[in-house]
Amino acid sequence: MANYQELANLVWNVADDVLRGLFKPHEYGDITLPFLVLRRLDCILDEDGRKEKAISTYDQYNDKVAEELLPPIILKATNTSFYNTSQYDLSRLKADPNNIRLNFENYIGGFSQDVRDIIENFNLDRFIERLHNNNRLFIFCDKFTEVDLHPNKVDNHTMGQVFEELLRRFSEMSNETSGEHYTPRDVVRLLVSLLFAEHREDLSGRGVIRSIFDPCCGTGGMLTIGKEYFREHINPDATIRLSGQELNAQTYAICKSDMLITGENPGAIRHGSSLSNDQFQTERFDYMITNPPFGVSWKSDEAAVKTEAQNANGRFFAGTPRSSDGALLFLQHMLSKMEESGSRVGIVFNGSPLFTGDAGSGESEIRRWIIENDWLECIIALPDKLFFNTSISTYIWILTNRKSVARQGKIQLINAVDFFDKMKRNLGDKGVFISDSYIRQIAELYTDFEETEHSKIYPNDFFGYTKVTVERPLIEKREILGAAQAVVVRDKRGNPKPDSALRDYERVTLTEEIDDYYRREIKPHLPDSWLDRKKDKVGYEINFNRYFYQYTPLRSLKEIADEMLALERKSEGLMNEVLGL
């Protein structure tokens, strides 16, 4: 099988040779990636005479059946999930260079509807005229016929890697954040290994059917790797159904083409915003995985999201986060699609969903809803510099509505920040990767479900607190019997009025009685204070670093002084060398 790096280099060189000077570098990917898809489809249709079967079947039935009945007839005759009834492909276009433009349109128009949808979302039309007018369309078609992408030479896994590598390179050329388009495969492998770790006894044998869904599916890497992992490590005979939705038109087109090429159902990959245009409203899934964009505004979805948040049966009724970061909305979206019989959810977050927002805020209310429903199973802190477009701290959350008995009412935290190997060279911001051995170690920490140096287990209410309001009386100076005196201002009922300038707040963990806390921690220091319990607010946050903090004792003064003297002696020696003394 071909090496994906070699293939990516070959395609990259074709793009650079033909497009340089005519297009800007940031446009290369928009032109090259759809041609890569077309070449792959041509190579598949070349096998077993599928293209000729499609053409002959079309000619046989075109005038005999209704137009909408023709596609299934051709698909059945060719035993494929797509077809092309044109006389042309990229190779055959070379036979008539004088009519390349017209014949190219005929070629694209001959594809089945799913392929035409893919090409339309690549938005290739806007470049074809410029290629043709500058005599590059024929050359570009010709160059791509030199790239052998037949499945016997390039398997589906390698083809996916080629897509991702080229997308990363083209994104870097245009100063885009390539990490928005797909997730590094080591992170995906870790995620799916955790997702499938529980209830494995239910997944063996024949007749097992499971569904995997990704609401931000990008190029589809999480879906395909999820299926590969399931087949390799859990049940090779299982039927796995893949579904996904993607907002970005180009990555949607890549994902759908990958599904088409690999024999999956391309109709289960849909285009649009999962937040404001849920195209799987009535569907439920066994497994859900995603890496939503970090810190991205959801203002374009705001009207639809807030309207649904008013509906007690809507996806977002528990709360909405601040408009600058919609990550938690995607998690709510996934949780709304859990099967009653039990689903498992894996999602990649930055640190914000752990602690952003005070008690009563949208973020805190979402955390409260999740934890009080006992859905949060485990959070894993990942190494820094794992992603192509960011070096910030990231975390995997595992959630389920079918916890094992041992996990019920508890949340496991795993600190895996040191579980990495360094890469030989950085790819964007990605400087480290999680090797297979580290993936196994993390998975073992998870499945062992024991307290260790790297694993902590806490009851759900450990992460909750009540934010209480501490009031103090409003005091005014008044002249009484000719002398100035401090007087507590009272309302009509004789109760002291609070002084808003002196108002304060305390967080009391849910594991402690508030009155006991007040008598012990507040009353001795503020004897005139009281708690306004009508203003109590319950909040939840997960301060991950605090739970794994290890105290490092300060060095002694003697140790510091000895080190300073040693440095001073070393500097004197260097100076003497310079002066030749």
124 in the same domain as 17:
yes
Q: Is 30 exposed, middle or buried (0-12, 13-18, 19+ CB in 10 A)?
A: middle
Sequence letter at residue 50: R
pLDDT for 180: 52
Q: Residue 306 sits in which domain range?
A: 177-449
Specify the pTM. Answer: 0.88
Identify whether the C-beta of residue 176 lies closer than 8 Å to the C-beta of residue 187: no
546 vs 536: CA distance, rounded Å: 25
H-helix or E-strand containing 260?
helix 249-261
Residue 354 lies in a domain: yes
Q: Are residues 377 and 506 in the same domain?
A: no
Q: Look at residue 46 and tell me if it is in a domain.
A: yes
Kindly tell me the burial class for residue 401, based on how many C-beta atoms sit within 10 Å of its own C-beta (0-12, 13-18, 19 or more).
Answer: middle
Q: What SS3 class is residue 390?
A: coil
Asked if 401 and 474 sit in the same domain, the reply is no
What does the pLDDT read at residue 177?
47
Intervals of the chain under pLDDT 70: 1-2, 174-182, 551-552, 572-581
Residue 458 is assigned to a structural domain of this protein: no
For position 142, what pLDDT does the model report? 93
**Do 228 and 349 fall within a single domain?**
yes
Say if 568 falls within a structural domain: yes
Q: Can you give the pLDDT at residue 318?
A: 97
Residue 21 to residue 139: CA distance in whole angstroms: 15
Angle subtended by helix axes 100-109 and 125-133, to nearest 10: 160
Largest CA distance in the chain: 114
Residue 299 lies in a domain: yes
First-residue to last-residue Cα distance in the chain: 66
Residue 92 lies inside a defined structural domain of this protein: yes
Q: DSSP for 69-135, please give it.
A: GHHHHHHHHHTSS--B-SS--TTGGGG-GGGHHHHHHHHHHTB-HHHHHHHHHHTTHHHHHHHHHTT
CA distance 507 to 467: 5
- pLDDT at residue 178, rounded to an integer: 42
| pLDDT for res 396 | 97
Query: Nearest 5 degrees, angle CA 261-CA 262-CA 268?
Result: 90
d(CA 32, CA 166): 9
Do 213 and 115 sit in the same domain of this protein?
Answer: no
Q: 208 and 69: one domain?
A: no
Q: Output the pLDDT for position 425.
A: 86
Same domain for 221 and 300, yes or no, is yes
Residue 223 lies in a domain: yes
- How high is the pLDDT of residue 3? 82
Residue 550 lies in a domain: no
Class of residue 511 by CB neighbours under 10 A (exposed 0-12, middle 13-18, buried 19+): exposed
CATH number for the domain that contains residue 213: 3.40.50.150
Letter for the amino acid at 507? R
Of 387, 422, 449, which residue sits at a domain end? 449
Together in a domain, 60 and 140: yes
Q: Within a 10 A sphere around the Cβ of 387, how many other Cβ atoms?
A: 25
Q: What's the burial of 476, exposed, middle or buried (CB within 10 Å: 0-12/13-18/19+)?
A: exposed
CB proximity list for 175: less than 8 A, separation 6 or greater = 26
Does one domain contain both 311 and 361?
A: yes
3-state SS, 5-43, equals HHHHHHHHHHHHHHHECCECHHHHHHHHHHHHHHHHHHH
Strands 344-350 and 269-271: unpaired
pLDDT score at 1: 58
Conformation bin of residue 522: beta by default, left when phi > 0, alpha when psi is -120 to 50: alpha
DSSP state for residue 514 in the 8-state scheme = H
Same domain, yes or no: 259 and 309: yes
The chain-wide mean pLDDT, for the chain, equals 90
- The whole-angstrom distance between residue 168's C-alpha and the CA centroid of its chain comes to 16
Residue 292: which of 255, 331, 337 has the closest Cα?
331
Please tell me the distance from the alpha carbon of residue 159 to that of residue 33, in angstroms, as a whole number. Answer: 12
State the total domains in the chain. Answer: 4
pLDDT of residue 575: 63
Is residue 306 located within the same domain as residue 437? yes
* 42 and 71 inside one domain: yes
Give pLDDT, residue 80.
87
